[in-house]
Amino acid sequence: MAISEREMQLERKHLDYIIAVLEDKINEYTDIRERLKNEYRDLNRGLWEDVGAFTGNMQKYTEYMQYIQMIKTTLNGAEHAKQTYYNLLLLRKTPYFGRIDLRYPDLETETIYIGTSTLEKDREILICDWRADICSLFYEDRMGKLSYESPGGTVQTEMMLKRQIKIENDRIVGAFDTSIKIDDEILQEILSGNTDEKMSTIIKTIQQEQNKAIRDRNANVLLVTGPAGSGKTSVALHRIAWLLYKHRDKIKADQIVSLTPNDIFNDYISEVLPDLGEQNVVMKTFRDLAGLVLKSNYKVFSQGELMERYLKTKNAPNKNKYVYWKNSLEFAYLLERYINRYFDHGPDFKDIIVDDQVLIYKENLLELYKSGKSLQYSYRMERVKTYIEDVLNSVKKKLIKETADELWESGEYMDMKEAKAVSRMRISEKFADIGATVRQMTSTNPLSIYVNFLKRVAEKEFEGGVRNTLSNFKRRIVPFEDLAPCVYIYSRFNKEDDARKRIRHVVIDEVQDYTPMQLMAVKAYYKRAEFTLLGDMNQAINPLSNVGEMGIIKDLASDQGFHHIHMPKSYRSTYEITDFCNSLVGLKTDEAEAVNRHGPKPQIIHFAQWEQLIENLSALVREYSLDKKSLALISRSKKTAVNLYNALKAKWPIRLVDSKDMKYYHGVSVIPSYLAKGLEFDAAVVVTTSDDMFTGEGERKLFYTACSRALHQLTVCCPEGMTIEYLNG
């Protein structure tokens, strides 16, 4: 309900006051930043002039450390001033978007304006950060008596007013009082509009079920599920921002990792956290994580390359059965048991022999290893290595002296130093092979351990697959399905480095595409972290590589607190597109409720020849290019995407999104179906051809994912005489 003119005048007057305060604050922090910059420069000059190069003098050392401490303090102040200045600029752009009026049991009242961050003046909070506990009330779907959780416990209050305020260019262009949930004027206006250049924040329109997921504080492992368009990715990013606000004394931005499907997805969401005032959160793919383990020594394949391999070889059951086995829960548990037994029994130790004399017996090494049963594997092996090194160094030292004495006594050398040098060289050559043996015994190379595991557990029908895996490794190629076992093995065998120890929270988007092995690997790699997982089984695009069922996640999180939140409503697409997509996978209305926004029904267009398809697509490209809307031509595989791009690129400004160009473009894009995951476009055209058709139950979810990218208009192109089987129910 629009507010009265009198109320509008009061709101305009309040906005003018807030803008004036913001201008003063921005000027104040501009001066503070300049002052700190000058202080830093002066301190550096003073350090050089007063102390100079440090030479070990204790008095100089004291002065040196005083300067270093002052420089650190200045840099910390400069960083804080920079962040505050950045947040003020965000507020200046849009000071606030909502207001709530509260009345407490003692009849005291409070008016709260809600924005992206906090604005204070003279200890009075003028704008409250949307992440604050009290601001959760704005996202409730009811008025009257409510409560919220605060550091001091549960607070009882009564919400007397909830107002949505739209501000543009320092003017209030709309203000609405609502008594229920935020799904009226402002939400409908946002949903009906065209897509932005990149994904935007949703703080103005967070729905109640989304708000619960964002602010959940009861679980170490939180699973959020929902149909396409329910806002899972937005929830993931806003939850990161909430965690950084709620636990700002415990968690810094670089202590959160967000694992995403691919780099185009990362580019698409890249502006959300900065617009929420948070930066430096690590965004990476699972392939990036595996790269940290395997370094640059191997060519590491991506999930997209696995998907292309499946699309090309879907009719090769033997190859696909081997991949499916490696991605199964059974395989993950086999590897876990293998490693546990390996830890119990120890490596295959060998006697260490020099000149046919046993220096260290393997039984002694095994006894030493087993004596550290309470220690992690890496620490047990360090004890073994240290023991071996101590024994060998002692023996080497003795042999070098004995040999040097023999050489000196032989009269061949006139200088004892020369005799010792020759002796050292000869003994070192003798011990060279021993060093290789020790390294092999104590190696924690994940590929070597993985190869031994495969040889032991693979059934006869997979022997050909194992040989192919070994051939890939010899050529320094690691397919995507082999990355998770390598990460898991590395994490179990090696000590945590400081980078791994720092991570406190991991967010995994599109978790349905993670295999049980991948989830176990991530959990082992970031063993100190809590997790937020988001996904939808109906968008599990590769039948050979997915979680199987969401219940597995609960099983894998059995030793941690687990909470599952389901968000049943889809906000992305029109009612007509959502209804069409739901029918593809058999979703009922209560499982994927469509938002009350209508548009044209999805169209199925048949074409007789390739030239006719290109002509039809050209007309759509022309329309959307002129209107500056986003349009995606979505093909089943990369092959058709490349053909479409080559046929259209001479006439229209169009981009091909593939492994070579993983940027999100707002205009017209041609993109394979599996790379479109998580993205959205004003219109989508799903293109099939006679030799690149979505077929079989295994590709039903891939087709659903492709179709559900459209906000306002969906078209499916199909060759004449052919039908897409899922369209018949």
DSSP, residue by residue, 614-660: HHHHHHHHHHHHHTT--EEEEESSHHHHHHHHHHHTTTS-EEE-BTT
CB 729 within 8 A of CB 583: yes
- The whole-number pLDDT of residue 1 equals 73
295-305 tens-digit pLDDT: 878 899 999 99
Is residue 54 very low, low, confident or very high in pLDDT (cuts 50, 70, 90)?
A: low
292-344 tens-digit pLDDT: 999 878 899 999 999 998 898 877 777 789 999 999 999 999 999 999 999 99
Contacts of 489 (CB under 8 A, 6+ apart): 335, 339, 444, 446, 449, 450
Distance CA 200, CA 637 (A): 29
Q: In the predicted model, what is the mean pLDDT of residues 649-675?
A: 86
CB 672 within 8 A of CB 635: yes
- Beta partners for 509? 534
Task: Provide the token pair at 703.
Answer: 């087709």
127-182 tens-digit pLDDT: 999 999 999 999 987 889 999 988 888 999 999 999 999 999 999 999 988 876 55
User: Distance of CA 284 to CAs 221, 265, 388, 518, Å?
Assistant: 20, 10, 40, 14
Beta strand spans in 316-372 (E): 352-354, 357-360
> How crowded is residue 467: how many other Cβ atoms within 10 Å of its Cβ?
12
- The whole-number pLDDT of residue 576 equals 94
- The whole-number pLDDT of residue 216 equals 94
Residues in the chain: 729
414-469 tens-digit pLDDT: 778 888 888 888 888 878 778 777 877 888 888 989 999 999 998 888 989 999 99
473-485 tens-digit pLDDT: 999 999 999 999 9
Q: Are strands 569-570 and 593-594 parallel, antiparallel or unpaired?
A: parallel
Is residue 56 very low, low, confident or very high in pLDDT (cuts 50, 70, 90)?
A: low
Question: What are the b/e assignments for 330-345, b being 16+ CB within 10 Å?
Answer: ebbebbbebbeebbee
Distance CA 399, CA 391 (A): 12
- The whole-number pLDDT of residue 425 equals 87
Is residue 191 very low, low, confident or very high in pLDDT (cuts 50, 70, 90)?
A: very low
- The whole-number pLDDT of residue 190 equals 47
Tell me what the pLDDT averaged over the chain comes to.
89
Choice between 661 and 82, residue whose per-residue pLDDT is larger: 82
Q: Are strands 668-672 and 654-656 parallel, antiparallel or unpaired?
A: parallel
**What is the separation of C-alpha 50 from the centre of its chain, rounded to a whole number of angstroms?**
48
Contacts of 316 (CB under 8 A, 6+ apart): none
Task: Provide the token pair at 215.
Answer: 């602010």
Q: In the predicted model, what is the mean pLDDT of residues 568-586?
A: 92
CB 114 within 8 A of CB 138: yes
- The whole-number pLDDT of residue 180 equals 60
- The whole-number pLDDT of residue 233 equals 95
- Of all residues in the chain, the percent with pLDDT exceeding 90 is 61
- The whole-number pLDDT of residue 595 equals 81
Per-residue pLDDT at 721 exceeds 70: yes
Per-residue pLDDT at 184 exceeds 60: no
* DSSP 3-state percent helix, strand, coil across the chain (nearest 5): 50, 20, 30
588-608 tens-digit pLDDT: 877 778 888 899 999 999 999
Distance CA 222, CA 532 (A): 5
